[in-house]
Amino acid sequence: MGGQLPADARRRRVTAPVLDDDLRAALDAFAARPRVLVASDYDGCVSPIVARPEDAVPNPRSMAALERCATAPGAFAALVSGRARADLRALSGASDALTLVGSHGAEFAEGFDSPITDGQRDLLNEIIDDFRSISARFPGTSVEVKPISTTLHVRNATPDDGAAALDLAETGPASWDGVHVTHGKAVIELAVIETSKGHALDRLRAAMGVDAVLYLGDDVTDEKAFAHLRPGDVGVKVGGGPTAARYRVADPDGVAAVLETIASLRVAAS
């Protein structure tokens, strides 16, 4: 039939998106560096975006590839997520070989750099109360509570209700002193300390002593990570939208293809 791909190519498209030549060349060069860190965002990258945050299961191909990277000589692997670190561990099922950073880059295995003050704890509780009042008014919205932040989810609300709920959050607690605002996919998130996935990558780069970093991300918060990449690093934006990343894949299957490629190259090299 005119224009139809051969059966093996159709199968390949479903199971393994082909990486474009520029990205494939960048991955080859990256994998040849002596010490590397392979890091990815979780939601929208290793896991597809789903209706309920608690249902965000990982793509097993991506997790297997990350685990292979983590145990290959000279390679490290990390998940850097907006999730609470404990939730990230539970959802991803990551082994201890993987480095997990939660709370948008602020929460490491050792905890936070400095514990939040009593004043910040009170502020967080006020924001949570306000979010809960907003959520009670708009069906389909929900509130996620994390160690230093809270998220108002509107994915399951009608467009009008979602917009109204977000507007109340913006004009309410998002405008309070000491509150740090992150916009995401059908969410607004308010934190009581500043967070940065870019600073998290800097810290991992120094601690691991790596020559290059690969980072995959799909959301606004990942732009802080892309902004901290250096020559020889590889930034991969997942999906559409403006980005500072040089490369792009379409979706979590593309993420799996990137991670499997790096894992195979590193294992083959060893």
Ligand X SMILES: O=P(O)(O)OC[C@H]1O[C@H](O[C@H]2O[C@H](CO)[C@@H](O)[C@H](O)[C@H]2O)[C@H](O)[C@@H](O)[C@@H]1O
> What's the DSSP call for residue 66?
H
d(CA 91, CA 160): 31
* CA nearest to 31, candidates 184, 170, 210, 209: 210
Please state, in angstroms and as integers, the Cα–Cα distance from residue 72 to each residue in 109, 179, 201, following that order. 21, 41, 20
Q: Which of 16, 17, 24, 49 binds ligand X (CB under 6 A)?
A: 49
Residue 110 exposed, middle or buried by CB count within 10 Å (0-12, 13-18, 19+): exposed
Choose the binding region for ligand X from 4-12, 80-88, 164-172, 244-252 (rule: CB under 6 A).
80-88
CB atoms within 10 A of CB 31: 24
Q: Does 144 bind ligand X (CB under 6 A)?
A: yes
Q: Does 185 bind ligand X (CB under 6 A)?
A: yes
Q: Does 181 bind ligand X (CB under 6 A)?
A: no
Q: Does 195 bind ligand X (CB under 6 A)?
A: no
d(CA 134, CA 119): 23
Phi, psi (degrees; rounded to nearest 5) at 148: -125, 15
Nearer to ligand X, 72 or 157 (CB): 157
Nearer to ligand X, 65 or 72 (CB): 65
Q: Does 81 bind ligand X (CB under 6 A)?
A: yes
Q: Which of 27, 31, 38, 56 binds ligand X (CB under 6 A)?
A: 56
Choose the binding region for ligand X from 36-44, 60-68, 169-177, 202-210 (rule: CB under 6 A).
36-44
Q: Does 107 bind ligand X (CB under 6 A)?
A: no
Nearer to ligand X, 49 or 267 (CB): 49
Q: Does 179 bind ligand X (CB under 6 A)?
A: no
> What's the DSSP call for residue 35?
S
Kindly give the residue spans of alpha helices, DSSP state H, lying in 72-158: 85-92, 118-137
d(CA 181, CA 162): 17
Q: Does 153 bind ligand X (CB under 6 A)?
A: yes
Q: Does 186 bind ligand X (CB under 6 A)?
A: yes
With contacts defined by CB under 6 A, how many residues of the chain interact with ligand X? 23
Q: Does 189 bind ligand X (CB under 6 A)?
A: yes
d(CA 193, CA 231): 30
Residue with tokens 């539970």: 90
Assess contact for 197 and 221: CB atoms under 8 A.
Answer: yes
Q: Does 44 bind ligand X (CB under 6 A)?
A: yes
Nearer to ligand X, 182 or 265 (CB): 182
Give residues in contact with ligand X (CB under 6 A): 41-44, 49-51, 53, 56, 81-83, 144, 151, 153, 155, 184-187, 189, 219, 221
